[in-house]
A and B are shown apart, each in its own frame.
Chain A
């Protein structure tokens, strides 16, 4: 379906933005692409108000049942050739609303879609990328991944093996407590250091001294200090 709409039409592309029941998150990102920061007019693109003037259409939202016939009518009004860009997770596959009663769940169930732009919401640069892919200016980057996995190449978690404190349950307790206090992203970063420290140290004082080192290494973050010291108090007490 990839084609160069610029060459076919020999003119600048005018875009129509259709809101098919979106939460306005994607709409704001579409407007963001018009601001000087991203400036979609560099490519000669412009938002227009009527489907009769438009060369390509950006659809956001999961297509509500009420809006289905209007979307069909808009598509019929569009002069062909045209390109339909589904922006946002809702427009691509229904998103969080995919099985709701009053929602069709995806633009491609109503009109043919040229390019899917996933994201919730997609960044303005992702929208620009999507429109340019639809026009055939640049190539798409994602590829289908399909793998068969067996026992070959499987490795169990290294963190757990390396710094095993006392069995799996202690490890699990440490992970859950840390996640509860500082969130999973920081936890995954700290975990290796902390578990190794727990394995190394046999006394509480040793543990607290080690925590001081970790805090210093991670930039004196008060959240990390608080979380690790609470951890040392709690888990240390239970398991000696």
Chain B
């Protein structure tokens, strides 16, 4: 190293960060690890719908709906945070995500599905029904809301069967339609 260079370098302070031994500050609005706020998440799966690399997936199992995030595939774009209707997704400042095992990078949320009177599972989570009830009550007349909520307490196939049954009843001779 030439003397000239040494003299020049003396003018500057040390720039190297002591990184693993001290924190490396992140800028404002840094997009780090995705975190679900458990008390707000209702398991609607809007985040899975918009996720570009399918890092968030919705897995339907009997009696549960699983929201599964694999951080190893997440590209930290923030679309889940943007689109979550409950603002239940937050991106933290955390960027030290190195992991030895693949399983450690997974976040699994299991949402329980309620049963109807006949013991069939509904296709909504318990939290979704509560949320829908609240939204509807602020907008629609009371009787309609009661009716909707009542029908939401039956499973999908039961609802369809009932609907077909009522149509068939109406079409039968002596039914409402034939009068």
Q: Write the residues of chain A forming the contact surface with B, with a CB cutoff of 8 angstroms.
A: 1-2, 36-39, 42, 89, 92-96, 98-99, 108, 114-120, 122-123, 125-126, 128-130, 132-134, 137-138, 140-151, 153-157, 159, 164, 167-169, 179, 184-185, 188
Contact = CB atoms under 8 A, between A and B. Distances in A.
B38 A147 contact: yes
Given A145-B108, A148-B110, A149-B41, A119 B95 contact: yes
Contacts, number: 173
B135 interface: yes
B127 A89 contact: no
A116 B98 contact: yes
Contacts of B130: 151, 154, 156
Given A37-B17, A150-B126, A151-B130, A140 B98 contact: yes
A98 B24 contact: no
A141 B96 contact: yes
Interface string B42-71: 110000000011110000000010000011
Given A128-B19, A132-B20, A92 B87 contact: no
A238 B122 CA distance: 38
B102 interface: yes
Given A93-B72, A155-B39, A123 B110 contact: no
A155 B40 contact: yes
A93 B53 CA distance: 10
B115 to A, nearest CB: 13
Contacts of B16: 36-39, 42
Interface centre among B55, B64, B96, by most chain A C-beta atoms within 10 angstroms, is B96
B29 to A, nearest CB: 6
Nearest to B41: A149
